[in-house]
Structure 1
């Protein structure tokens, strides 16, 4: 995580560190300006960092307090994306029955009615549904899936975002080249995530990955670290993908299937 801080923020190795006690607070000991920025953001937003990536997220604060209540880093990211994207349509309930889930998710609620979902979670999901309802995004997504199928060195992923031209999806291979079942994000992804973009990755080692639909343990661990809403797209066949939204706290929502 220190490496991510260096790449994303350009700070020194010791600007942010945590001691060996996982319950201890993060310590800022070498860069007073960085420390002051993080503390100011934390106080203004009411968010306390629990990981190094939370610290990196706070360090990007522009000094503006959101109009909405911010109860988590996930909320903060969603507010930033919603501020520049069009107002999304109401939630749509998936038509397809839920797919069998991996061990870490099996047995948990994965529907839109689960009690753990907050207002900002539902807003994030609505934004995702709006984006996936556009043909350019679906084309970009299936193109990434097709390229991932051919790439046996790493999983593919990227970010979903909105800019002046509309919804955009940027994708590519992860930084690692030794595991086709693992996606390692780039520093560019993290910078955009901290500005509200939604990170995603693909499960596409084969055309039919339905046996491992949705986020696995590594994906859920990554969400605990970065704290923002995320997506995983699981290949079901040549023209169909399963969509799952998830966030810190082990919350997973089945958003159904999309076709090419």
Structure 2
């Protein structure tokens, strides 16, 4: 971040110097009426234009590369620290009814349709929502990590998303510290604002996962197959374990 700031300062000063030189030539032309000075004043401006165009191109290329890096970082995190969170979240859904097998076997257009349906999320029960909420709390360090990456990569939207999730987690932890034997969801149901925050966080998890699935399916189908296959297997194992406990 410090190197980037230093680079930006150098770039700004360079532009100021070029602009000042151009103004100086214009001033000389005004005082001496030498047309040659007028032409000279255009040179720094042309350089500035070139710097702007090249800088803009490099910035876009750098941002694209950072997005690509983030995509593969997400693949790693989704398969490890966040794997259980997403499985629990999908298993708790009432609508849309989504399974990893369904996602894996779907076409790109079908996944896009799933994503549209996921704009409206319903859960099977408050208790299942509580399980998802606690998975978010367990993954607190992941959200901190993504927040730091968002700062480093200058992804403002991701930064604000992480802040929202972390504030939500702090609310849950504060409640649990004072009420260790109570479910947060029951208390939240008494407050429209709290329920709105819960639905936003949990629903966004489903939506972001599907957005990522679409991105992988479209650009990196092999990575998509690997990721969803891992989730499909983990989901089956979890279901077997749940059935074993139930019996």
TM range (shorter): under 0.3
- Greater Rg over alpha carbons, structure: 2
Q: TM-score, normalised by structure 2?
A: 0.27
Q: Which has the higher helix share?
A: 2
Q: TM-score, normalised by structure 1?
A: 0.26
Q: Which has the higher strand share?
A: 1
